Chains A and B, each alone.
Chain A
Amino acid sequence: MSKTILCRCEDITLQEVEQAVESGFSDIESIKRYLGVGTGFCQSKGCLVELARVFIEKGKAEPADMRPIVSRPPIIPISLRFFAGHDPREEGGQS
């Protein structure tokens, strides 16, 4: 059990993230695309701040310059049936 798990959903270790940062990935979004970190069931709730900390600790980013990954709906798992079968033209939510 020597692994330190940074992302529980996608099983990404702290070492993997550190190596990726060392090898030149310079922002959170590209690390996400490379390792898949933050793309699992929890959608980065557990790992995002830890990712940011790796960048800061390694001196690879200034906190003020960092941006999180893009947040898209839904932020928790939602049953697809809740969305299915609705006509977006009739129920678009326009006021």
Chain B
Amino acid sequence: MAYIQNSPVLEVRNLSVSFQMNDGLYGQKMLQVISELNMKVHAGEILAIAGSSGSGKSVLASAVLGILPENAVVSGELRYNGQVLTHDLQKQLRGSEIALVPQSIEFLDPLMSVGVQADGHRKPYPARKRRELFKRLELPEDTGKRYPFQLSGGMVRRVLVSTAMIADARLVIADEPTPGMSVEQAVEALKIFREMAEEGKSIVLITHDIDLAFAFADRIAVFYAGTVVETASAQDFQAGPCALRHPYSKALWRALPQNDFEPAEGFQPYAGNLPKGCLFAPRCSRRTPKCEQETPSLRTLRNGEVRCFHAE
């Protein structure tokens, strides 16, 4: 595990993101979607980000690339190879050094063939190499000439995965790359990410397919209500609830169809209505008065990190 020693490629320190929303005719209101988030990714590692839908995972991706909408207010610090990621630097790096595999198929230009879009900044990319890559992802030979509307959901995702490979970026942020793919195709896509990591690249893999993340990632960061509640090695997730630290991570494990398929009670708090203290407290069976008053900070525990007073 060489990546532990080297300095992080991407470091996120105390990041908070809010959106300014209109409220009534003249009013304005802030919605806090990311709160004091801390995270590191090293060279040669796949960091999976798992967690609740609407917990700010895609917002984090947009913040790193500097493509947040205009009504976003950002505080905290982002560093890329030790350098502070300013807006100009982001502009310079995105698409070449930092690549995004977007979540929505709407990121593709509907009026451009997907082959040209896959080449991106490396245009013209050798057609032979692109065909080989497409073949590996089980895409038919003529896919490059097709337009997004002519492809199925899973095919578009595979085209999007190929863009990251072609871009040859040092940091890839893949936002939900696998939905719509069959298990075999998803495994192939993750093998491609694994190979890129072996070459020394850093991969941030945002995913709900946590069983695949267990198998391919080095570490997993669990998001809840806009912050990281736990980072753990993939082995801890494979081992199950006993090896995990945070009650939310344990609940995720239990909700898998192959485990108990048992949902945790309650719902993630809404960004406009975050509870005081621990964000998970309203759903937690182990909450104490302290949890409702104070926010736990991320602390190191058993070679991982956890944001909980009671984790042991």
Chains A and B bind each other:
no
Q: Please report A residues at the B interface, Cβ cutoff 8 Å.
A: none
